Amino acid sequence: MLEIEVVLSPALLRLTEVRNKNVVVIDILRATSTICTAIHEGASAVRPVKTTEEAIALKNHGYLIAGERDGHKLEGFDLGNSPFECMNGRVTNQKIALTTTNGTKCVQAATDAGASNVIAGSFLNIDATSEWLKKDGKDIVLLCAGWKDKVNLEDTLFAGAMASKILNNNFYTLDCDSTHLAIDVYELGKHNLAQFLIKSSHYQRLSNLHHQEDMEYCLSLNLFETVVGQKNVEMFKIN
């Protein structure tokens, strides 16, 4: 039987064996939602990087540079971390170097730990991504980016949603308390995701920065079927 495990914070990744497993990086508000949107909108690749310096260096190699810190767009960057900035042809056929407070470092951490595939998780394509994972047939780790190594509600909620979908497949088994916890969170919030998250710290943080439209979009279900995964150091459409 195959296993599915939720890691509630990147600080806990060191306790989990991810080698040769599929790792789904989850930063719902907003990095992985933005990555999936950018690829769906025609970007040729997104390269997640940890630091602003890495992103700036890639501008000289033809990349658009995108990023935020603490929810604020980085000064001098082409794009922030909003999915809406990836629409209307702005990123079509472009490579993007993206650095964010939480999500992009998790992509690199999963890669460094030997994951078989690193997948970007979002509600925007949750069904397509869940089906791809089931068909690929490997153990799955759902890695929540959290907020500065702390557990957060929105990523846990998504992990529970995806775990619920994958566990409908009889080939997967569940022996992980964090996955049970995430599924229980999702069961509490699934009928109105936005209302459930109003009390969360990052929802409040982004609301204060006037990113309400971004959050509503990032909580939308199955707007497209593009599945996004990493090859080498960049993320592409893989389905």
**Which of 115-134 are b and which e, b meaning 16 or more Cβ less than 10 Å from the residue's Cβ?**
bebbbbbbbbbbebbbbbbb
Structure tokens at 60: 């000289």
Residue 89 sits at φ, ψ, to 5 deg, of 80, 5
Domain 2-226: top CATH class: alpha beta
Q: Where are the domains of the chain?
A: 2-226
Provide the pairing of β-strand 140-144 with 72-73. unpaired
Tens-digit pLDDT profile for the chain (239 aa)? 899 999 999 999 999 999 999 999 999 999 999 999 999 999 999 999 999 999 999 999 999 999 999 999 999 999 999 999 999 999 999 999 999 999 999 999 999 999 999 999 999 999 999 999 999 999 999 999 999 999 999 999 999 999 999 998 779 989 999 999 999 999 999 999 999 999 999 889 988 888 999 999 999 999 999 999 998 899 999 99
What DSSP element (H or E) covers 69? strand 64-69
Burial code of 190-224, b = ≥16 C-beta within 10 A, e = fewer?
Answer: eeebeebbeebebbeebeeeebeebbebbbeeeee
